[in-house]
């Protein structure tokens, strides 16, 4: 297959698809391409009248989507991708772009126009190569192309039209149909790439990759670095427009649209004409680098985004939309007993954050929301969000006081939760279950644990890690050891098909009692919270129970990067008690080696927790 020769070229590279479309993901996954999905926040409101041909609009939209993701990952996430793929598919009839229908009548009007006629489907595709320069400037090299496929509809009867419309499929599809699903029954013929109509021209994409990585000659391919047209209504700030930022004392290069914006802002902010600061035609005033400034502005707005997520979760907005599909702001307001005005602002903010979709004033969940934010979803983090909102948030509100006084925010927050008796204890356990359920699969598959036949999860709480272990390794049996007041409340968290012969629960205190015999010991979110004295005491106990070549210790916790620049760990450290600490991989390795574990493997999972496997040779 055409793509196969370049797979090795992409191995080890951070390849990102700037699209949430499951159809595009399936097309690329089916040919073996490994990639991350980072949906773009670019708001698709480019002025169509600026483009002489419909395909130019599709290419430019794809370009803006890909560039927004590349810049956001570089500046905000501090993870520069190697390649970002952007795509945009449009349906045109007689050079008129057909949008997604906003209601059933609009869908009927659209499909009636297509009935018996041939129309064009264009997909614009952009491949952005990214590199981070010494001054942390993002360098991009852009290759773009488009594919056109001709599609002819059969003459459609009224009954067939309405049968299809009533299925609900047209409502989120450009042109009002999806050829890969029920919409295929409307199509009489296709001339060109079928997958292009589905959403991604795979053949053309493969050819482009082959040209890029296996060019026939140096003269065969002419690559041009593009300057996109000025951005229109993105959710990001000026940092998202292509620029070359050096130090504040040097010129910050941007396209003409941004220069005009900065010039007007400078003029309006000063009573002195712009020319007054020019000497020999050179502006010697200090320059503002908007890419640097955006790091600060993103931090300033970070709490707003968090609180928006918290409020929507607390009001169960995502649950209402999961149950009803798509609703107007007025309908959602009625279901959450809130004002229409306030609800609409909250919904629009969630759209801007990529949590909801808005099609002609009708709101619906994104795949992200359905997977993680709906309270009863398999991988829901709803309980964790409520904990952050109801407890952790208040301590961060007074962080400066906590720094001065040295009080343990996380300990106090959890104590406040547990002080509410049975209800507080259950909520604390739901929080722990939520976090481990999300992280467990990446932890138990970080290393090959198939050699171990028995395990003991020390402080295993609800058994979330144990459940994942027995699912992944059919031969293993696990004993979950925790305090009596925890064990007696574990029943509601057990899956219906739990094999009680493989997962057992034992009351005990692993700090004080003798450890049960096991080939594999597990500690999840324990070590970072212990004082040095308690930490060394526990590791000595586990080390004494481990024999060379037979036993091992699996640790699930946050592992800091060596330079401690990734923000996740240091931010989390603000909430742990004053005796505990997070550690780098090197620090964990040294700690474990001091206790006789001379084989230490560390795996950064990218999930909530990282994995460490320590053993004696």
CATH number of the domain that residue 110 is part of: 3.90.950.10
The pLDDT score that the predictor gives to residue 259 is: 38
The pLDDT score that the predictor gives to residue 171 is: 84
Q: Is 229 helix (H, G, I), strand (E, B) or coil?
A: coil
Question: Is residue 253 scored above 50 in pLDDT?
Answer: no
The pLDDT score that the predictor gives to residue 132 is: 81
Question: Is residue 57 scored above 90 in pLDDT?
Answer: yes
With tokens 């794809």, the residue in question is 62
User: Residue 601: in which H helix or E strand, if any?
Assistant: strand 599-603
Question: Is residue 415 scored above 80 in pLDDT?
Answer: no
CB count in 10 Å sphere of residue 123? 28
Q: Identify whether residues 354 and 458 lie together within a single domain.
A: no
Cα–Cα distance between 156 and 162 in angstroms, integer? 10
- Provide the CATH number for the domain around residue 522: 3.40.50.150
The helices-and-strands tally (H runs, E runs) of the chain is 23, 23
At residue 215 the predicted structure's pLDDT band, cuts being 50, 70 and 90, is low
Cα 366 vs. chain centroid, distance in angstroms? 12
Cα–Cα distance between 462 and 538 in angstroms, integer? 21
Q: Any bridge partners for residue 121, and if so which?
A: 91, 149
User: Residue 93: in which H helix or E strand, if any?
Assistant: strand 83-93
Contact 37, 85 (CB under 8 A): no
Cα–Cα distance between 314 and 309 in angstroms, integer? 9
Reported pTM: 0.52
DSSP state of 227: -
DSSP string computed for 487-539: HTT-GGGS-TT--TTTEEEEE--TTTSPPPP-SEEEEES-GGGS-HHHHHHHH
Q: Which has the minimum average pLDDT: 109-123, 275-289, 311-325, 343-357?
A: 275-289
| Range picked from 49-53, 55-59, 227-231 for highest mean pLDDT | 55-59
Question: Is residue 586 scored above 50 in pLDDT?
Answer: yes
Angle at 543 between CA 541 and CA 547, to 5 degrees: 130
The pLDDT score that the predictor gives to residue 406 is: 67
Question: Is residue 164 scored above 70 in pLDDT?
Answer: yes
Q: Which has the minimum average pLDDT: 22-31, 324-333, 472-481, 576-585?
A: 576-585
Residue 392 lies in a domain: no
> The tokens of 488 are what?
């007696």
At residue 137 the predicted structure's pLDDT band, cuts being 50, 70 and 90, is confident
Q: Is 130 helix (H, G, I), strand (E, B) or coil?
A: strand
Q: Identify whether residues 15 and 159 lie together within a single domain.
A: yes
Work out how many domains the chain is built from and give that number: 3
Residue 431 lies in a domain: no
The pLDDT score that the predictor gives to residue 364 is: 93
Residue 528 lies in a domain: yes
Query: What is the tens place of the pLDDT at every residue in 473-530?
Result: 999 999 999 999 999 989 888 887 777 789 999 999 999 999 999 999 999 999 988 9
- Pick the last residue of a domain from 187, 213, 239: 213
Query: What is the tens place of the pLDDT at every residue in 67-122?
Result: 999 998 888 767 789 999 999 999 999 888 988 888 889 899 999 999 999 999 99
Q: Identify whether residues 341 and 489 lie together within a single domain.
A: no
Q: Identify whether residues 375 and 451 lie together within a single domain.
A: no
- Arithmetic mean of pLDDT, 208-235: 55
Which position has the higher pLDDT, 271 or 424?
Answer: 424
- Pick the last residue of a domain from 189, 213, 237: 213
Residue 419 lies in a domain: no
CA proximity to 64, closest of 213, 191, 226, 172: 226
Q: Identify whether residues 12 and 142 lie together within a single domain.
A: yes
- Pick the last residue of a domain from 380, 401, 422: 380
Question: Is residue 252 scored above 50 in pLDDT?
Answer: no
Q: What is the mean pLDDT of the chain?
A: 82
Q: Identify whether residues 457 and 357 lie together within a single domain.
A: no
- Arithmetic mean of pLDDT, 243-254: 36
Q: Any bridge partners for residue 13, and if so which?
A: none
Q: Identify whether residues 485 and 590 lie together within a single domain.
A: yes
Q: Terminus-to-terminus CA distance in the chain, angstroms?
A: 45
> The tokens of 530 are what?
């212990």
Cα–Cα distance between 369 and 293 in angstroms, integer? 30
CA proximity to 83, closest of 9, 31, 136, 3: 9
For residue 362, what are the domain limits? 292-380
Q: Identify whether residues 339 and 190 lie together within a single domain.
A: no
Question: Is residue 276 scored above 50 in pLDDT?
Answer: no
Residue 263 lies in a domain: no
Residues 6+ apart with CB under 8 A from 234: 41, 42, 43, 64, 68, 240
- Provide the CATH number for the domain around residue 361: 1.10.10.10
Q: Identify whether residues 208 and 60 lie together within a single domain.
A: yes
Q: Identify whether residues 129 and 32 lie together within a single domain.
A: yes
Question: Is residue 417 scored above 60 in pLDDT?
Answer: no
The pLDDT score that the predictor gives to residue 138 is: 85
Residue 545 lies in a domain: yes
What stretches of 349-389 adopt beta strand conformation (E)?
A: 356-359, 362-365
- What backbone torsions phi and psi does residue 294 show, to the nearest 5 degrees? -65, -30
Q: Which has the minimum average pLDDT: 217-221, 237-241, 333-337?
A: 237-241
Contacts 24+ apart (CB under 8 A), 202-207: 202/3, 202/27, 202/28, 202/31, 203/2, 204/125, 204/145, 204/147, 205/125, 206/1, 206/2, 206/3, 206/31, 207/2
Residue 278 lies in a domain: no
What stretches of 102-212 adopt beta strand conformation (E)?
A: 118-132, 138-153, 187-191
- Arithmetic mean of pLDDT, 286-308: 82
Q: Which of 88, 193, 482, 610 is catalytic?
A: 88
Contact 461, 521 (CB under 8 A): no
Query: What is the tens place of the pLDDT at every residue in 365-407?
Result: 998 999 999 999 988 999 889 988 888 787 787 777 777 776 6
Q: Taking the CA of residue 117 as centre, how many other CA atoms within 13 Å lie in the half-sphere pointing to its CB?
A: 12
The pLDDT score that the predictor gives to residue 543 is: 96
Percent of the chain topping pLDDT 90: 48
The pLDDT score that the predictor gives to residue 196 is: 94
At residue 414 the predicted structure's pLDDT band, cuts being 50, 70 and 90, is very low
Question: Is residue 548 scored above 90 in pLDDT?
Answer: yes
Report in angstroms the alpha-carbon separations of 571 from 77, 105, 566. 14, 51, 9
The pLDDT score that the predictor gives to residue 535 is: 94
88 in catalytic set = yes
Cα–Cα distance between 250 and 44 in angstroms, integer? 33
At residue 297 the predicted structure's pLDDT band, cuts being 50, 70 and 90, is confident
- Arithmetic mean of pLDDT, 320-337: 91
> The tokens of 297 are what?
């502005």
At residue 180 the predicted structure's pLDDT band, cuts being 50, 70 and 90, is confident
The pLDDT score that the predictor gives to residue 134 is: 67
- Arithmetic mean of pLDDT, 593-601: 95
Q: Identify whether residues 179 and 303 lie together within a single domain.
A: no
The pLDDT score that the predictor gives to residue 589 is: 95
Residue 252 lies in a domain: no
Q: Any bridge partners for residue 244, and if so which?
A: 253
- Arithmetic mean of pLDDT, 156-172: 89
Q: Identify whether residues 363 and 475 lie together within a single domain.
A: no
Question: Is residue 420 scored above 70 in pLDDT?
Answer: no
């Amino acid at each position: 297959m055409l793509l196969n020769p370049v797979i090795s070229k992409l191995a080890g590279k951070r390849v990102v698809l700037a699209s949430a479309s499951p159809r595009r993901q399936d097309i690329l996954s089916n040919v073996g391409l490994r990639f991350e999905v980072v949906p773009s926040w670019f708001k698709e409101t480019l002025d169509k009248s600026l483009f002489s041909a419909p395909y130019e609009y599709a290419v430019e939209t794809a370009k803006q989507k890909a560039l927004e993701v590349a810049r956001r990952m570089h500046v905000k996430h501090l993870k520069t991708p190697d390649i970002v793929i952007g795509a945009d598919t449009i349906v045109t009839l007689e050079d008129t772009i057909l949008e997604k229908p906003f209601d059933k009548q609009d869908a009927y009007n659209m499909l009636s126009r297509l009935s018996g006629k041939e129309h064009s489907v264009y997909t614009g595709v952009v491949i952005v190569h990214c590199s981070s320069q010494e001054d942390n400037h993002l360098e991009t090299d852009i290759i773009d192309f488009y594919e056109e496929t001709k599609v002819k509809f059969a003459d459609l009867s009224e009954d067939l039209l309405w049968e299809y419309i009533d299925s609900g499929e047209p409502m989120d599809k450009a042109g009002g149909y999806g050829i890969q699903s029920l919409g295929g029954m409307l199509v009489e013929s296709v001339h060109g790439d079928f997958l292009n109509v589905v959403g991604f021209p795979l053949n053309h994409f493969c050819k482009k990759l082959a040209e890029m990585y296996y060019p026939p000659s140096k003269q065969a391919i002419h690559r041009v670095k593009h300057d996109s047209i000025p951005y229109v209504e993105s959710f990001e700030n000026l940092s998202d427009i292509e620029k070359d930022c050096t130090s504040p004392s040097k010129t910050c290069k941007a396209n003409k649209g941004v220069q005009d914006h900065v010039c007007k802002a400078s003029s309006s902010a000063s009573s002195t004409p712009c020319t007054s600061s020019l000497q020999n035609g050179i502006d010697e005033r200090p320059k503002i680098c908007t890419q640097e400034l955006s790091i600060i502005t993103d931090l300033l707005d970070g709490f707003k985004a968090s609180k928006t997520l918290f409020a929507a979760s607390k009001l169960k907005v995502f649950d209402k939309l999961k149950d009803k599909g798509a609703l107007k702001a007025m309908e959602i307001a009625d279901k959450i007993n809130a004002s229409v005005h306030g609800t609409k602002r909250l919904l629009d903010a969630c759209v801007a954050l990529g949590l909801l979709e808005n099609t002609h004033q009708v709101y619906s969940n994104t795949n992200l929301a359905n997977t993680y934010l709906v309270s009863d979803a398999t991988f829901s983090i709803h309980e964790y969000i409520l904990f952050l909102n109801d407890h952790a948030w208040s301590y961060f509100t007074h962080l400066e006081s906590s720094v001065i006084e040295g009080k343990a925010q996380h300990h106090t927050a959890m104590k406040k939760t547990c002080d509410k008796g049975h209800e507080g204890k259950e909520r604390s356990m739901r929080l722990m279950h939520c976090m481990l359920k999300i992280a467990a699969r990446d932890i138990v598959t970080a290393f090959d644990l198939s050699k171990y036949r028995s395990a003991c999860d020390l402080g295993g709480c609800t058994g979330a890690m144990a459940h994942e272990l027995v699912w992944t390794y059919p031969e293993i049996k696990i004993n979950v050891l925790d305090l009596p007041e925890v064990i007696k409340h574990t029943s509601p968290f057990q899956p219906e098909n739990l094999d009680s012969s493989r997962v057992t629960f034992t009351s005990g205190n692993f700090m004080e009692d003798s450890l049960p015999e096991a080939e594999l010991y597990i500690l999840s979110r324990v070590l970072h919270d212990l004082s040095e004295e308690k930490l060394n005491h526990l590791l000595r106990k586990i080390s004494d129970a481990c024999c060379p070549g037979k036993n091992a210790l699996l640790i699930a916790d946050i592992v800091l990067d060596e330079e401690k620049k990734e923000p996740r760990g240091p931010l989390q450290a603000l909430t742990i008690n004053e005796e505990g600490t997070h550690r780098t991989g090197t620090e964990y390795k040294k700690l474990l080696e001091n206790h006789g574990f001379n084989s230490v493997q560390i795996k950064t999972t990218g999930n909530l927790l990282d994995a460490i496997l320590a053993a004696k040779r």
